[in-house]
Amino acid sequence: MGAIAGSGRGPVAAPPPTLRCVSHDPTPEPPLAAPTPTAAQPVPEVKGVFASLIVATLAQLGSSCFVAAAYTPTGPVEGLTRDERLARMLADPQFVVVSLVLAQAAVVLALWKAPRRFESIPPGGMAARLGWSETAIRWREVALVFAGTLATGSIAIVPIKHLMKPGAGALEALATTANEASLSQFAVLLLVGAVIAGLVEELLFRGLVMRRLVERWGPLKGVVVTAVLFGLWHLDLEQGLVAAALGLWLGVAALWTRSTVPGALAHIGNNLVSFLGSRLFEQHPEETEPLAFVVGVVVLALCAWGLRRLTSRSAAPEVSR
């Protein structure tokens, strides 16, 4: 400190100046950032999400009921039970393809319009609300999510097949359609049942629903509740259980990658593999189930480990030198 004026004790020698290292970097220091507000952000409500999901579900059911009402079965129907008529209807490739086309068109319309009526859309628009990242696709993440999706399906289907008796469910109907459809019908099935369905379902569930539930209820409840809703969405017990298992993995993947893009591409790839496998290869699941289950567990564990490491590195902040 310097001398205190008016002390009456005479001048006091000032201490020698302190030597400092002066940087020769000509770059000026950036200005101080504005203080970050400490007020807690309001917790988002989920009423709008469930309203949007109900609209999408009603749109799907309405289109399916319309096709079922207009369907004219081939061959005699007298003496057939309700289940037998349903089995015949689901075994008709034309009915399955047409119902898929109308159902996906209705869901796309509902996903496009319903959230804008029931929810507040962020400044980034619907893309930001659905978690559709506009950054470059990270193909290593996509590959791990895709492999984990195939592994999850092979794990889930084994106990479900043993617990349930075979019947005319949605999985059997889709396999029959892929195997017996004409080339034009099969092309439409790939486009609508694999590409459009995979994309729309991920935007609807891992995007619209799960992101809001995670914000409101936390990661665990958000992922689990969304997976359960995703299973119920399929309206078939066997397919719904498989879908719920897939929803758990796709939900975790969307949470780790912070994007719905890898899950959507993986979902599309999974559906394509299922349809192409039913079309091109003769199915003998009882011969491959034990091996598929064991391999699926190992592959899923490796994919989860690799995806977690990859996303943790990409999310780590850069260290300034």
Which DSSP string do the residues of 105-125 spell out, in sequence order? HHHHHHHHHHHHHHSPPPTTH
Q: Is residue 203 predicted with pLDDT exceeding 90?
A: yes
Please name the residues in contact with 51: beta carbons below 8 A apart, sequence gap of 6 or more: 114, 118
Domains of the chain, residue spans:
47-71+80-315
Q: Lowest-confidence range among 27-31, 126-130, 242-246, 248-252?
A: 27-31
**Both tokens assigned to 268:** 């599309």
Round to whole Å and give the CA distance between 132 and 109: 18
109/91: higher pLDDT: 109
- For residue 69, the model assigns a pLDDT of 84
Q: Which residues, 6+ apart, have CB-to-CB distance to 238 below 8 Å?
A: 160, 164, 167, 169, 170, 171
**Range of weakest confidence among 143-157, 168-182, 183-197, 216-230:** 168-182
Looking at per-residue pLDDT, the higher value among 290 and 250 belongs to: 250
Q: Distance between CA 321 and CA 318 in Å, rounded?
A: 9
User: In this structure, what token pair is assigned to residue 1?
Assistant: 């400190």
Q: Which has the minimum average pLDDT: 5-19, 92-106, 217-231, 276-290?
A: 5-19
Q: What are phi and psi of 176, to 5 degrees?
A: -65, -40
> Rounded mean pLDDT of 96-119?
91
The pLDDT, as a whole number, for residue 161 is 78
Query: Would the pLDDT of 15 be above 60?
Result: no
First to last CA, the chain: 34
The larger pLDDT score, comparing residue 72 to residue 292, is at 292
Interval 58-71 mean pLDDT: 89
Sorted by sequence, the CB contacts under 8 Å of residue 270 that are 6+ apart come out as 146, 149, 150, 153, 198, 246
Whether 24 shows a pLDDT value over 60: the answer reads: no
Question: Residues 74, 125: contact at Cβ < 8 Å?
Answer: no
- 3-class state of residue 197 by DSSP: helix
Judged against a pLDDT cut of 70, whether residue 91 lies above it is answered with: yes
